[in-house]
Structure 1
């Protein structure tokens, strides 16, 4: 009897590990497909992988796009035949306890050099969808002072505008 209980528990643990691995593979596939859709300028595929209330935060401090605004911003890039090209160099994926929310971070090879992306996916009735994505320029620590100097006037102006509102 103890052997049967042990085998049953071992089977449950194996099933859970398989389920986790399958979920990670699904998330990797979704994100890779999303990036590929942008590189191939496939507007419909790109935005179909996002929730209807998705948020995309770009590298510019003013880029906090709600889904419909982001579609309007992105459409001309997609219409030209190539939006942007991001290839994951490494990616970490995490899940909540219920396995219906996943979040990730990734190091990306892009036309801007190395960037960092991070995001949240929601498991929906139609599958996993990207709900929130943040794209950041990866600046080496030894260059932060130089970059800070380059963007100083832009930052001061934006800080002033935000505080005035």
Structure 2
């Protein structure tokens, strides 16, 4: 009986240790992802071409306009004029939530950003490869406060009706 209790105790200790190790790995990945995304935003703020290298070749970027849905290379071509300046755009993290999949390779996140457009709540999917992280999907919507949704929606509808008429 003593051996059984000892074996159960050791098994429980191993399970607790494994759980703590998994949490430490997730925390380390979250920290690495925060650095990676902060660097990505900093690349844009300083118009560095490395910005696009952080996106997967088949990566998708969805901007604030309903027409802005690009694969990486198309996005790079569209943004070329912005990256010829000293700063393309500057997004500063207010807060970010990072989630790590069970495979430790699939990561998704959401973030509040301070931008020239006001506060945006962006989200993305990152994949961890043997050579590092790559952004597979990023979406940048403008955060519209609920209290002003009706007038903003009306402005958009009026704009689209006018655009359709021309």
Q: With structure 2 as the length reference, what TM-score do the two structures score?
A: 0.88
Residue 141 of structure 1 pairs with residue 146 of structure 2: yes
Q: Which ranges of 4 or more aligned residues in structure 1 deviate by more than 2 Å?
A: 1-11, 153-160
Closer, same or farther: CA 62–4 of 1 in aligned 2, 3 Å: same
Unaligned runs of 5+ in 1: 161-165
Query: Which residue does the alignment assign to 2:13?
Result: 7
Residue 77 of structure 1 pairs with residue 82 of structure 2: yes
Query: Which residue does the alignment assign to 1:163?
Result: none
Cα distance in 1, alignment partners of residues 129 and 160 from structure 2 = 38
Equivalent positions of 1:147-162 (< 5 A) are: 147-156=152-161
- Matching residue within 123, 131, 136 for 1:126: 131
Q: Deviations over 1:5-54 (max 9, x none)?
A: 343333222211110101111111111110011001112x2111110111
Residue 17 of structure 1 pairs with residue 19 of structure 2: no
Residues paired across the two proteins, number = 159
Query: Which residue does the alignment assign to 2:32?
Result: 26
Q: With structure 1 as the length reference, what TM-score do the two structures score?
A: 0.88
Q: Over alpha carbons, which structure has the higher Rg?
A: 2
Query: Which residue does the alignment assign to 1:97?
Result: 102
Q: Secondary structure at the match of 1:42?
A: coil
